[in-house]
């Protein structure tokens, strides 16, 4: 948990990026979820008996999406939590609670570009399978090219940090966090991206190339008293 807080304090950056207009929809589904709840096995922090938290399995979720329209050459995927409290000094304090209406910011949990058009699913644990302080290499894989998640902020201040980074909301937060998984169908095989790229870079490079998109929300909290 201390490592997670250090990462958040050092590198979470609120990125305001305009999402391009979309011409069609993709259906995004999760194999093991009920369609609403992010499972503990997909989180990087899990609840303990004391209503606090401990490190979680941090397995990337099994996700699939409907086939893109004619002309689809690749896909891209992102996962974002828009509900991160903007004041990290309040995180996990036994004598404080974070109000539901407290100021929030984004944290990027997952970025994949250049997913082959022949692929419409990722199995559980494919892009993250266990706690990791340094993440996975920012490299091209058989299922896509990894981008920098929120732990690195894209500036490499704490080093490159790719792959899936599971949910870890503060256990004293009164708001249930939402995790937006979005898949884009693109008309190019590879996006024009820098060697180290962020979600913002991906969306900028995808502008004018998006044929369709679909998104699904999952919810997660460590606070039994939290509400949406």
- pLDDT tens-digit profile of 128-183? 999 877 889 999 999 999 999 988 554 556 668 999 999 999 999 999 999 999 99
Q: Which fold has domain 2-220?
A: Phosphatidylethanolamine-binding Protein (3.90.280)
Q: End-to-end CA distance of the chain: give it in Å, rounded.
A: 23
**Residue 4 reports pLDDT greater than 70:** no
134's tokens: 């340094």
What's the pLDDT tens digit per position in 53-109?
999 999 999 999 999 999 999 999 999 999 999 999 999 999 999 999 999 999 999
Instruction: Report the C-alpha gap between 91 and 106 in whole angstroms.
Output: 15
Dist. CA 162–CA 198, nearest whole Å: 10
Distance CA 117, CA 72 (A): 6
Q: What's the half-sphere exposure (Cβ side, CA atoms, 13 Å) at 84? A: 25
Q: Is the pLDDT of residue 185 over 90?
A: yes
Residue 185 corresponds to which tokens in the numbers above? 């169908």
Question: Does 18 have pLDDT greater than 80?
Answer: no
d(CA 116, CA 100): 40
For residue range 192-208, list pLDDT tens digits in order.
999 989 999 999 999 99
Of 184, 226, 170, 224, the C-alpha closest to 79 is: 184
| Contacting residues for 7 by C-beta, under 8 A, at least 6 apart | 151, 158, 161
């Amino acid at each position: 948990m201390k490592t997670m807080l250090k990462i958040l304090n050092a590198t979470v950056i609120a990125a305001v990026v305009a999402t391009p207009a979309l011409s069609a929809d993709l259906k995004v589904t999760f194999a093991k979820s009920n369609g609403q709840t992010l499972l503990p096995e997909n989180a990087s922090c899990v609840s303990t008996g004391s209503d606090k938290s401990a490190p979680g399995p941090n397995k990337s979720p099994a996700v699939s999406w409907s086939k893109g329209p004619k002309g689809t050459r690749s896909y891209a995927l992102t996962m974002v939590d828009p509900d991160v409290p903007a004041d990290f000094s309040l995180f996990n304090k036994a004598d404080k609670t974070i109000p539901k209406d407290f100021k929030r910011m984004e944290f990027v949990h997952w970025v994949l570009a250049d997913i082959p058009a022949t692929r419409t699913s990722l199995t559980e644990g494919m892009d993250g399978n266990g706690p990791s302080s340094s993440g996975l290499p920012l490299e091209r894989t058989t299922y896509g090219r990894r981008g920098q998640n929120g732990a690195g902020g894209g500036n490499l201040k704490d080093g490159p940090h790719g792959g899936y980074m599971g949910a870890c909301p503060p256990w004293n937060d009164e708001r249930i966090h939402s995790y937006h998984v979005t898949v884009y169908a693109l008309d190019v095989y590879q996006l024009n991206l820098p060697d180290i790229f962020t979600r913002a870079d991906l969306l900028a490079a995808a502008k004018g190339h998006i044929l369709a998109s679909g998104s699904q929300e999952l919810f997660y909290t460590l606070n039994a008293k939290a509400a949406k």
